Structure 1
Amino acid sequence: MTDPRLLLLSPDDNVFVLRAAIEAGETVTLETGTATLPARLGMGHKIARRAIAPGEKIVKYGAPIGTATAKIAPGAHVHVHNVKSDHTPTYALAATSEEVPR
Protein backbone atom coordinates (compact mmCIF):
# COMPACT_ATOMS: atom_id res chain seq x y z
CA MET A 1 0.00 0.00 0.00
CA THR A 2 1.27 3.47 -0.90
CA ASP A 3 2.02 5.99 1.85
CA PRO A 4 -1.17 7.96 2.65
CA ARG A 5 0.86 11.21 2.53
CA LEU A 6 1.27 10.68 -1.23
CA LEU A 7 -1.38 11.50 -3.81
CA LEU A 8 -1.57 9.85 -7.22
CA LEU A 9 -3.57 12.21 -9.43
CA SER A 10 -3.85 9.83 -12.41
CA PRO A 11 -2.93 6.17 -12.90
CA ASP A 12 -0.73 7.30 -15.82
CA ASP A 13 1.40 9.61 -13.61
CA ASN A 14 5.03 8.79 -12.84
CA VAL A 15 5.05 11.18 -9.87
CA PHE A 16 3.25 11.39 -6.54
CA VAL A 17 2.23 14.74 -5.04
CA LEU A 18 2.82 15.24 -1.31
CA ARG A 19 -0.41 15.76 0.66
CA ALA A 20 1.60 17.16 3.58
CA ALA A 21 5.17 18.17 4.34
CA ILE A 22 7.55 15.27 4.89
CA GLU A 23 10.62 15.88 7.01
CA ALA A 24 14.21 14.98 6.11
CA GLY A 25 15.03 11.42 7.07
CA GLU A 26 11.43 10.19 6.95
CA THR A 27 10.66 7.09 4.92
CA VAL A 28 7.73 6.89 2.50
CA THR A 29 6.15 3.71 1.19
CA LEU A 30 5.93 3.52 -2.60
CA GLU A 31 4.22 0.85 -4.70
CA THR A 32 7.55 -0.91 -5.27
CA GLY A 33 9.33 -0.35 -1.95
CA THR A 34 10.37 2.48 0.32
CA ALA A 35 12.43 5.65 -0.02
CA THR A 36 13.98 7.92 2.58
CA LEU A 37 13.77 11.63 1.85
CA PRO A 38 17.15 13.36 2.30
CA ALA A 39 15.59 16.82 2.70
CA ARG A 40 12.29 18.27 3.87
CA LEU A 41 9.69 18.61 1.12
CA GLY A 42 6.60 20.75 1.44
CA MET A 43 3.03 19.93 0.58
CA GLY A 44 2.45 19.96 -3.18
CA HIS A 45 5.98 18.92 -4.14
CA LYS A 46 6.45 15.90 -6.39
CA ILE A 47 8.45 12.71 -5.88
CA ALA A 48 9.12 9.97 -8.42
CA ARG A 49 6.64 7.11 -8.36
CA ARG A 50 9.26 4.87 -10.03
CA ALA A 51 12.67 5.25 -11.64
CA ILE A 52 12.61 7.91 -14.37
CA ALA A 53 15.27 7.96 -17.09
CA PRO A 54 16.89 11.10 -18.52
CA GLY A 55 14.81 12.33 -21.45
CA GLU A 56 11.63 10.66 -20.18
CA LYS A 57 8.50 12.75 -19.85
CA ILE A 58 7.31 13.69 -16.36
CA VAL A 59 3.59 12.93 -16.24
CA LYS A 60 1.23 14.63 -13.75
CA TYR A 61 -2.59 14.76 -14.08
CA GLY A 62 -2.12 12.18 -16.86
CA ALA A 63 -0.36 14.78 -19.03
CA PRO A 64 3.33 15.47 -19.72
CA ILE A 65 4.56 18.53 -17.81
CA GLY A 66 8.28 18.32 -18.47
CA THR A 67 11.26 16.18 -19.37
CA ALA A 68 13.72 14.57 -16.95
CA THR A 69 17.20 16.07 -17.33
CA ALA A 70 18.83 13.42 -15.12
CA LYS A 71 18.15 9.96 -13.76
CA ILE A 72 15.52 10.20 -11.00
CA ALA A 73 15.29 7.40 -8.43
CA PRO A 74 11.99 6.20 -6.96
CA GLY A 75 11.00 8.58 -4.16
CA ALA A 76 13.41 11.33 -5.28
CA HIS A 77 12.30 14.96 -5.45
CA VAL A 78 11.08 15.90 -8.95
CA HIS A 79 11.61 19.62 -9.49
CA VAL A 80 13.50 22.20 -11.57
CA HIS A 81 16.90 20.68 -10.64
CA ASN A 82 16.11 17.50 -12.61
CA VAL A 83 13.22 18.50 -14.91
CA LYS A 84 12.98 20.89 -17.85
CA SER A 85 9.47 22.32 -18.04
CA ASP A 86 7.50 21.80 -21.24
CA HIS A 87 5.65 25.04 -20.53
CA THR A 88 7.83 27.61 -18.75
CA PRO A 89 11.51 28.24 -19.49
CA THR A 90 13.64 27.81 -16.35
CA TYR A 91 15.03 31.36 -16.68
CA ALA A 92 11.46 32.69 -16.53
CA LEU A 93 10.87 30.88 -13.23
CA ALA A 94 13.96 32.55 -11.70
CA ALA A 95 12.96 35.99 -12.96
CA THR A 96 9.41 35.62 -11.71
CA SER A 97 10.47 34.54 -8.21
CA GLU A 98 12.69 37.64 -7.92
CA GLU A 99 9.87 39.95 -8.99
CA VAL A 100 7.27 38.70 -6.52
CA PRO A 101 6.81 41.28 -3.75
CA ARG A 102 7.13 39.96 -0.22
Structure 2
Amino acid sequence: MSPADQLILLHPDDNVLICVAPIAAGDILPTSGGTIPAREGITVGHKVARGSLAAGDKVIKYGAPIGSMTAAANPGEWVHMHNMKSDYIAAHSRTTVTATGS
Protein backbone atom coordinates (compact mmCIF):
# COMPACT_ATOMS: atom_id res chain seq x y z
CA MET A 1 0.00 0.00 0.00
CA SER A 2 1.35 3.43 -0.89
CA PRO A 3 1.52 6.30 1.64
CA ALA A 4 -1.06 8.16 -0.46
CA ASP A 5 -3.53 5.38 0.37
CA GLN A 6 -2.92 5.53 4.14
CA LEU A 7 -3.38 9.23 4.94
CA ILE A 8 -5.70 12.00 3.79
CA LEU A 9 -5.65 15.76 4.24
CA LEU A 10 -9.15 17.02 5.09
CA HIS A 11 -8.44 20.76 4.68
CA PRO A 12 -5.41 22.66 3.31
CA ASP A 13 -4.95 24.51 6.64
CA ASP A 14 -4.81 21.29 8.70
CA ASN A 15 -1.55 20.46 10.48
CA VAL A 16 -2.57 16.80 10.83
CA LEU A 17 -3.31 14.06 8.33
CA ILE A 18 -5.97 11.40 9.00
CA CYS A 19 -5.13 7.71 8.90
CA VAL A 20 -7.53 5.89 6.53
CA ALA A 21 -5.66 2.56 6.36
CA PRO A 22 -3.56 0.90 9.09
CA ILE A 23 0.02 2.19 9.40
CA ALA A 24 2.81 -0.05 10.67
CA ALA A 25 6.03 1.16 12.27
CA GLY A 26 8.48 1.81 9.44
CA ASP A 27 5.87 2.62 6.78
CA ILE A 28 6.96 5.67 4.79
CA LEU A 29 4.59 8.58 5.39
CA PRO A 30 4.26 11.90 3.55
CA THR A 31 4.76 15.07 5.61
CA SER A 32 4.79 18.74 4.69
CA GLY A 33 8.56 18.49 4.14
CA GLY A 34 8.83 15.16 2.27
CA THR A 35 8.55 11.70 3.77
CA ILE A 36 9.43 10.02 7.07
CA PRO A 37 9.17 6.48 8.43
CA ALA A 38 6.35 5.97 10.94
CA ARG A 39 7.75 5.54 14.45
CA GLU A 40 4.83 3.37 15.58
CA GLY A 41 1.70 1.68 14.32
CA ILE A 42 -1.30 3.99 13.90
CA THR A 43 -4.88 2.81 13.55
CA VAL A 44 -7.57 4.09 11.21
CA GLY A 45 -9.19 7.38 12.22
CA HIS A 46 -6.24 8.77 14.15
CA LYS A 47 -4.23 11.89 13.39
CA VAL A 48 -0.61 12.12 12.19
CA ALA A 49 1.47 15.31 12.41
CA ARG A 50 2.10 16.91 9.01
CA GLY A 51 5.00 18.92 10.38
CA SER A 52 6.61 19.57 13.75
CA LEU A 53 4.15 20.47 16.51
CA ALA A 54 5.36 22.00 19.78
CA ALA A 55 3.68 21.78 23.17
CA GLY A 56 0.93 24.43 23.21
CA ASP A 57 0.44 24.48 19.42
CA LYS A 58 -3.16 24.27 18.23
CA VAL A 59 -4.12 21.06 16.42
CA ILE A 60 -5.99 22.01 13.23
CA LYS A 61 -8.43 19.51 11.66
CA TYR A 62 -11.19 20.41 9.16
CA GLY A 63 -9.54 23.85 9.04
CA ALA A 64 -10.44 24.56 12.68
CA PRO A 65 -8.65 24.11 16.02
CA ILE A 66 -9.70 20.91 17.81
CA GLY A 67 -7.17 20.89 20.63
CA SER A 68 -3.71 21.82 21.85
CA MET A 69 -0.51 19.83 22.01
CA THR A 70 0.56 18.83 25.53
CA ALA A 71 3.86 17.44 24.22
CA ALA A 72 5.82 17.94 21.02
CA ALA A 73 5.25 15.72 17.99
CA ASN A 74 7.62 15.34 15.06
CA PRO A 75 6.41 15.01 11.47
CA GLY A 76 4.81 11.60 10.95
CA GLU A 77 4.09 11.01 14.66
CA TRP A 78 0.72 10.02 16.07
CA VAL A 79 -1.27 12.96 17.47
CA HIS A 80 -3.65 11.50 20.04
CA MET A 81 -4.70 12.04 23.64
CA HIS A 82 -1.22 10.99 24.81
CA ASN A 83 0.21 14.24 23.41
CA MET A 84 -2.78 16.56 22.98
CA LYS A 85 -5.86 17.73 24.84
CA SER A 86 -9.25 18.76 23.56
CA ASP A 87 -9.89 22.49 23.92
CA TYR A 88 -13.48 22.00 22.78
CA ILE A 89 -14.59 20.05 25.84
CA ALA A 90 -13.07 22.52 28.31
CA ALA A 91 -14.50 25.51 26.43
CA HIS A 92 -18.02 24.04 26.19
CA SER A 93 -18.73 22.66 29.64
CA ARG A 94 -22.13 22.72 31.34
CA THR A 95 -20.85 25.50 33.63
CA THR A 96 -20.02 27.69 30.63
CA VAL A 97 -23.45 27.12 29.08
CA THR A 98 -25.24 27.78 32.39
CA ALA A 99 -23.22 30.91 33.12
CA THR A 100 -24.01 32.47 29.73
CA GLY A 101 -27.45 30.96 29.21
CA SER A 102 -29.81 33.16 31.22
How would you bin the TM-score normalised by the shorter chain? 0.7 to 0.9
Question: Which consecutive residues of structure 2, in runs of 5 or more, have no partner in the other structure?
Answer: 91-102
Cross-structure match for 2:57: 56
CA-atom RMSD, angstroms? 1.3
TM-score by length of 2: 0.78
In 2, the alpha carbon distance for the partners of 1:25 and 1:77 equals: 13
- Map of 1:59-78 to 2, 5 A cutoff? 59-78=60-79
Rg (Cα) greater in structure: 2
More helix by share: 2
Q: Residue deviations 1:14-45, cap 9 Å, x none?
A: 00001101112212122312222222111111
Cross-structure match for 1:41: 42
Question: Which consecutive residues of structure 1, in runs of 5 or more, have no partner in the other structure?
Answer: 90-102
In 2, the alpha carbon distance for the partners of 1:46 and 1:68 equals: 12
Offset of 1:88 from its aligned partner? 3.3
Contact 2:19 2:43 in 1 (8 A): yes
- Map of 1:1-102 to 2, 5 A cutoff? 3-4=3-4, 5-88=6-89
In 1, the alpha carbon distance for the partners of 2:66 and 2:81 equals: 12
In 2, the alpha carbon distance for the partners of 1:57 and 1:87 equals: 11
Q: Residue deviations 1:47-79, cap 9 Å, x none?
A: 001111111100000110000111111111000
